[in-house]
Chain A
Amino acid sequence: MDIGAALTIALVAALLGQVWAAQVRLESQLRWLSAALLLNAMTLPAAMLLFGDSNTVFGLAAGFIAILVASASGMGALIWLYRIEKLGQTNIVNTINATPASTPTESTSTASPHE
């Protein structure tokens, strides 16, 4: 692949990711994390492409497992995204965006509340 093209693609994708992620609110992070995970499912077609022409035992084994785990990962992320959206996180985001009191403030915490 042309290095210039690769760098341009990488730069544009990184910028796009930065623009979107910078505006994600804490309460909708879960949805975005599932979506980012789903993007990784693009490995699946690459695995299928190489596996189709694989002819060594180790290659076949690696390819079989790769397709299995890539499809499981993609499908799993899709299921969670469905469940999260079904429970109406979109509505929350909209409601909160309309509420001035919900403006996030910088945390000065000293311990993780994920405990």
Chain B
Amino acid sequence: MLRLPARLPNQRVQPARMNDMNLGLALAGLLMLIGLQRMHAGRHAFPWFATGFGAAVLVPILLGGGENQLLMMSALALGLGLAFILGLISTLSHLPARLALLHGLAGAATALVAGMAMLEQLLEPGLTLGLANLSVLLGAFSAAGAAVAHLRLSHLLPHVLRHASQSWIGVVLLLCTLVLGGLLASGMKVHILWQMSFFILATLSGIVFSLPLAEREAPLAASWLGVLTGLSMALLGIALELAPLLATGILSAALTLILSSELGRQVNMPLSKLLWGARATASEAVTEPAAPERPMTLEQLALELEQAQDILLIPGFGCIAAEGCDELVHLAKRLSQRSTQVRVLAHPLAGRLPGQLALLLRESGIDESMLIEHWSGEQPIPALTLSIGAHDLINPQRANADIPNLSILEASAKVVLILTQTQGFSGMDNPLLNDTHVYVLQSDARGGLEQLNQRLKPT
């Protein structure tokens, strides 16, 4: 049977140790598989993942045999400690940015491990080295792209850099990287400078492809880059003859691929649009936002809320961005104390990532009985609907059956939009603004809700 060329020419890693490592990794992978199965069954999976991760850390320590144990333990302690501190100081509103960062770190780790095998000349020129090179390319591309996405989501890179030729520059860079990778794999270029150039070119390709992405596209892009990280890990597994690494890499890539494509379908942003569409829209003119036809004051809205018997609150990304979830939950609680029926629609697509809003509301202490995540079209829309920074979510042009269609209302029904500007983050016009049932309170979500809570009369 056809075999890939033998590896580890200088036999630094003993075969017996490799076998033990494979066994240990298989155990760690198995624990994580059980975690995934439990997740699939809708049960808590954290303990299984934690044990699997613990096994992945402990196996190489227990196997020992290395000369750099102290440095290894220092790097491990530093990495775990930094992640722990970052986890402690991050709030749920940081989640999309942090997940992008973690995708970037995972990609960088894979590229660096493959790079280390190349630098230490552990791999024979040919197919094995070629696979390791490809692993470096995918890992570095993913790391650079995810780093840009993280900076974008953290508002550290506010300006979207778009140029008509950007995609082609990226393609040319990628081709140059592939050619150089081929030369390195063939053994024609072995000097460290060529290896460094290869790494830099791969990183640059990732940056060039990611720079034109806007903030709203960044979480999806980071998710797609996770597919490349998984593939990179799988290729590394083949090159290093670590079968569990190959299996978990492919599993991770397959999961992320399907989840990303489903999310892309839901938000009408397939991969092709993400790669090429973002650049095409750069020159599109943004229409001037229209002034609201029926403005409403805080006093009027407070009065409406006090009189209503049934209220639907629809928070959107504007509420998350303004960090208004605490005030929203406070408002919902105050209204329910007045014997008003309150429902809060936390649609999965309201945040930057699916389900983020529901998590934020839960963290703020919302009553589970108020929380709904999907709207059934058969349900009557309450007499008063309050949208808080959900301008794009409730846009009737989206026509999503899980979101109430506020353009078809009974004569007595009212919709109040709390928004900062009459165009959402998408820059898209919303026909609801011209609807006779719709009133607008121009305020940021947090400030508006805070003032509403102050104006509502105590029960």
Query: CA of A55 to CA of B121 in the docked complex: distance in angstroms?
Result: 11
Docked complex: A42-63 residues within 8 A CB-CB of B: 42-56, 58-60, 62-63
Min CB–CB distance A7 → chain B (angstroms): 10
Interface mask (B55-66 → A, CB under 8 Å = 1, otherwise 0): 011011101111
Residues in B with CB closer than 8 Å to A115 are 216, 317, 392, 424-426, 428
Residues in chain B near residue A113, CB distance under 8 A: 267, 316-317, 347, 349-350, 392-393, 395, 398, 400, 426
Do B109 and A96 have beta carbons less than 8 Å apart? no
A46 near B84 (CB under 8 angstroms)? no
User: B155 at the A/B interface (Cβ < 8 Å)?
Assistant: no
Give the residues in chain A near B265, CB-CB below 8 Å.
107
Quick check: A59 and B120 within 8 Å, CB to CB? Answer: yes
- B352 touching A97, Cβ below 8 Å: no
A contact residues around B348 at 8 Å (CB): 26-27, 29
Is there an interface contact between B67 and A64, defined as CB atoms closer than 8 Å?
Answer: no
Q: When the two chains form their complex, are residues A50 and B250 in contact, meaning their CB atoms are under 8 A apart? A: no
Q: How far is the CA of A94 from the CA of B40 in the complex (A)?
A: 11
Residues of A within 8 A of B392 (CB): 111-113, 115
Q: Which of A32, A64, A68 lies in contact with B39, CB distance below 8 A?
A: A32
A37 engages B106 (CB within 8 Å): yes
Please tell me if B254 contacts chain A, counting CB pairs below 8 Å. yes
Is B244 a contact partner of A53 (Cβ separation < 8 A)?
no
How many residues belonging to B are interface residues under a CB distance threshold of 8 Å?
Answer: 147
Q: B119 contacts the other chain (Cβ, under 8 Å)?
A: yes
> Which of chain B's residues 192-238 have a Cβ closer than 8 Å to chain A?
192, 216-217, 219-220, 223, 226, 229-230, 233-234, 236-238
Q: Is the CB of B355 within 8 A of A28?
A: yes
CB distance from A110 to the nearest CB of B (A): 6
Min CB distance B177 to A, Å, is 18
Cβ–Cβ contact B259 & A32, under 8 A: yes
Q: How far is the CA of A80 from the CA of B96 in the complex (A)?
A: 11
Least CB distance, A74 to chain B, in whole angstroms: 5
The dominant DSSP class at the B interface is helix
Q: How many pairs, one residue from A and one from B, have CB atoms within 8 Å of each other in the complex?
A: 435
Which of A63, A67, A110 gathers the greatest number of chain B CB atoms within 10 Å?
A67
Closest to A5 in B: B243
Among residues 409 to 436 in chain B, which have CB atoms less than 8 Å away from a CB atom of chain A?
Answer: 424-426, 428
Which residue of A14, A48, A75, A96 is within 8 Å of B373 (Cβ)? Answer: A96
Separation of A15 and B257 alpha carbons in the complex (Å): 12
Assembly CA distance A104 to B373 (angstroms) = 11
The stretch among B45-53, B290-298, B326-334 that forms the contact with chain A is: B45-53
**Smallest CB gap from B403: residue in A:** A113
Output the least CB separation between A57 and chain B (Å): 9
A17-B254, A36-B256 known; A53-B13 Cβ under 8 A: yes
Contacting residues, chain B, for A49 (C-beta < 8 A): 13, 17, 21, 60, 63, 66
By a CB distance below 8 angstroms, the chain A residues around B53 are 38, 41, 74-75, 78
Contact B87 A75 (CB under 8 A): yes
In the bound complex, what is the Cα–Cα distance between A55 and B249 (angstroms)? 27
Bound CA span A68–B241, Å:
23
- The answer on a CB contact under 8 Å between B395 and A48 is no
Q: A66-B112, A73-B106 are in contact. Are A13 and B248 (CB under 8 A)?
A: yes
B362–A52 CB distance below 8 A: no
The interface centre, meaning the residue of A35, A82, A97, A102 with most chain B CB atoms within 10 A of its CB, is: A35
Query: Per-residue 0/1 for B236-279: is the Cβ within 8 Å of any A Cβ (1 yes, 0 no)?
Result: 11101111111111111111111100110111110000000000
Within 8 A of A (CB), among B103-131: 103, 105-106, 108-110, 112-113, 115-117, 119-120, 122
Q: How far is the CA of A38 from the CA of B103 in the complex (A)?
A: 10
Known: A9-B247, A21-B255, A65-B75. 4 other contacts (CB 8 A): A26-B266, A36-B251, A87-B362, A89-B359
Contact sample, A vs B, 29 pairs, CB 8 Å cutoff? A17-B251, A17-B254, A23-B40, A29-B259, A36-B259, A39-B230, A40-B249, A42-B233, A46-B113, A50-B120, A51-B68, A51-B71, A52-B66, A53-B66, A54-B116, A70-B109, A72-B80, A76-B86, A76-B101, A80-B95, A80-B102, A82-B46, A99-B374, A109-B266, A109-B268, A109-B400, A114-B317, A115-B426, A115-B428
Interface residues of chain B, those whose CB is within 8 Å of chain A, are 1-4, 12-13, 17, 21, 24-25, 28-29, 32-33, 35-36, 39-40, 42-46, 49-50, 52-53, 56-57, 59-61, 63-69, 71-72, 74-76, 78-80, 82-84, 86-87, 92, 95, 98-99, 101-103, 105-106, 108-110, 112-113, 115-117, 119-120, 122, 192, 216-217, 219-220, 223, 226, 229-230, 233-234, 236-238, 240-259, 262-263, 265-269, 316-317, 347-356, 358-359, 362-363, 373-374, 376, 378-379, 392-393, 395, 397-402, 424-426, 428
Binding site for B on A (CB under 8 A): 1-6, 9-10, 12-18, 20-24, 26-56, 58-60, 62-85, 87-90, 92-94, 96-97, 99, 101-102, 104-105, 107-115
Please name the 4 residue pairs, one residue from A and one from B, whose CB atoms are nearest each other, closest first: A52-B66, A17-B254, A71-B79, A115-B425
